[in-house]
Amino acid sequence: MILVRNLLQQLNGNKLLFFSLTLSLFVSCASIFVNTNNNTKHEETTNDFEVNSKKQEAQEPILFLDKVIHAPVQRDEKIKVAILLPFNIGKSAAYSSIRETVLEYYEGFELALEELSKEGSEIEVEVFDTKSDSSEVAFILTKPFLKNCNIIVGPIFDHEISQVENFCSVYNIQYVNPLRNYIKKTRTSIPVFNPIAADSNKHYFAALKLIELYPKHQFILVNDNTTQGFAARKGYQKAFSDANISLKYMSPDELKTSLISNVETTVIAPVTSELNVRKVLNAGAGKKETQILGLEEWFDFPIIPFDLWNKNNLLFFNNYQLETENPEKIQFEQNYHNKYNTNAGKYAYIGYDQARFFIGALCTFGLESYSYIQNKNFPMIHNNFNFKNMGNNVFENSSVNLLKLVDFELVKIK
């Protein structure tokens, strides 16, 4: 059962107007109270991110997102969540794009919370409008609830995130940076989660996936010596070096005379100029054994002929891709439409997946949840989650969607 003092009711009709009125009333202290259906009393626990070695806890196989994980028996405790997002209620139309994005994200997040409550979790959530203003964030951080919460989601701007990170480091609170990558500033043990990896790391993780999927291929990295491709090249170089696999380097001009027929080859081409893209595509055209990993930006070159796309085995990767026949996606779309009377957009899927994962993990494993969810692959709707500790308890999602262009449609490669 959900006892609602909710800043978001089902939004339909004049969605933004209704949302403005509701949030203006409740944004400074809005709460969603998610209660279990049993009568168990729940004791508050202090935030402690070190596994207590003195306390021998029984372990059992626990099912989390269809994966069995051996962990301590679940403790009964209420999970407290603070959401800090720039809803920008009452601000000018210049903020409408940000407002729409975070509203959509929150709707997906809220839907996941309701599902968790039906599964027996007890969650208390307070939602705050940061108004894209660091002084507002500073004011929010004075609220008593924040000191006692277990996890903070948002905000999304660097100067505001640093304020929240410092706050989390004092009160030992987990932090999720929901919509962009953030480099941790403090040298504390608090977990900081980046569902979106840094640019160079995204290419690093993509390379590791290529190596796993194509162990017999030779790999060629196209180097056009541009600053735009530096982060990508750096990520690929590190991945192949770590895997102790040879990586050949060629310029776009050298590629045409170097590709050998009947040799399985993956050409990695982080090039951004249309001229170099054409050179790479021309070099690989018609060679069935050759596949080319390109960039999403390539789709911004409208004058590249379609037949040139068609003659290549093209690969791409991204952090957001939906599969049409995914039953979880279909169910989410139905639930979202029933609740909000509109169709789900990109950020609704992201908010839903993040709430199911981070809040679900806390409900399942308690305050040491990060110890049990790292280095494991969890299929989600828009992208898999596989968080790796990149040092200093900064956890980045190492999973990328590797896609193949089939009849001009991007299809996920498992």
Query: What digits encode the pLDDT tens for the residues 194-222?
Result: 999 988 899 999 999 999 999 999 999 99
SS3 label, residue 279: helix
Report residue 268: phi and psi, to 5°: -100, 115
Beta-ladder partners of 153: 83, 176
Output DSSP code: residue 54: T
Output DSSP code: residue 355: I
Arithmetic mean of pLDDT, 249-274? 92
Q: How far apart are CA 345 and CA 358, in angstroms?
A: 20
Contact present, 176 and 357 (Cβ < 8 Å): no
What is the pLDDT, as a whole number, of residue 309?
A: 84
Asked if the model's pLDDT at residue 74 lies above 80, the reply is: no
Single-letter amino acid, residue 372: Y
What is the pLDDT, as a whole number, of residue 310?
A: 79
What is the pLDDT, as a whole number, of residue 66?
A: 86
Q: Set out the domains of the chain in order of their start, with CATH numbers.
A: 2-197+325-398 (3.40.50.2300), 199-318 (3.40.50.2300)
Asked if the model's pLDDT at residue 118 lies above 50, the reply is: yes
The first and second tokens of residue 330, run together, are 């279909």
Q: How far apart are CA 356 and CA 379, in angstroms?
A: 11
pLDDT confidence band for 22 (50 / 70 / 90)? very low
SS3 label, residue 285: coil
What is the pLDDT, as a whole number, of residue 75?
A: 63
Query: What digits encode the pLDDT tens for the residues 123-174?
Result: 999 999 999 999 999 999 999 999 999 999 999 999 899 999 999 999 999 9
Contact present, 108 and 352 (Cβ < 8 Å): yes
The first and second tokens of residue 146, run together, are 């924040």
Distances (CA, A) of 371 to 77, 165, 191, 408: 18, 20, 10, 41
Looking at mean pLDDT, say which of 41-45, 184-188, 243-247 comes out highest: 243-247
Asked if the model's pLDDT at residue 344 lies above 90, the reply is: yes
Contact present, 264 and 288 (Cβ < 8 Å): no
Q: Quickly count: other Cβ atoms within 10 Å of residue 119's Cβ.
A: 10
| More confident of the two residues 3 and 119 | 119
| More confident of the two residues 28 and 74 | 74
SS3 label, residue 293: strand
| 30-44, 104-118, 354-368, 400-414, range with the lowest pLDDT | 30-44
| More confident of the two residues 19 and 359 | 359
- % of the chain with per-residue pLDDT over 90: 68
Contact present, 237 and 204 (Cβ < 8 Å): no
Q: How far apart are CA 387 and CA 359, in angstroms?
A: 15
pLDDT confidence band for 8 (50 / 70 / 90)? very low
Asked if the model's pLDDT at residue 364 lies above 90, the reply is: yes
What is the pLDDT, as a whole number, of residue 286?
A: 86
Exposure string for 251-288, b = 16+ CB within 10 A, e = fewer? ebebbeeebeeeeebbbbbbbbeeebbbbbbebbbebe
Arithmetic mean of pLDDT, 287-306? 88
Report residue 90: phi and psi, to 5°: 85, -5
| More confident of the two residues 408 and 150 | 150
pLDDT confidence band for 238 (50 / 70 / 90)? very high
Q: How far apart are CA 48 and CA 65, in angstroms?
A: 24
SS3 label, residue 26: helix
**262 CB-near residues (< 8 Å, 6+ apart):** 289
Asked if the model's pLDDT at residue 300 lies above 80, the reply is: yes
What is the pLDDT, as a whole number, of residue 57?
A: 63
**Between helices 199-213 and 230-242, what is the axis angle to 10°?**
40
Q: How far apart are CA 110 and CA 2, in angstroms?
A: 12
Contact present, 75 and 214 (Cβ < 8 Å): no
Asked if the model's pLDDT at residue 29 lies above 80, the reply is: no
227-396-155-43 Cα dihedral, nearest 10 degrees: -170
How long a stretch of residues is the chain?
Answer: 414
What is the pLDDT, as a whole number, of residue 76?
A: 67
Arithmetic mean of pLDDT, 249-269? 92
Query: What digits encode the pLDDT tens for the residues 172-183?
Result: 999 999 998 988
Query: What digits encode the pLDDT tens for the residues 317-338?
Result: 999 999 999 999 999 999 999 9
Arithmetic mean of pLDDT, 49-75? 72
Contact present, 236 and 221 (Cβ < 8 Å): yes
Asked if the model's pLDDT at residue 402 lies above 70, the reply is: yes
**368 CB-near residues (< 8 Å, 6+ apart):** 49, 51, 72
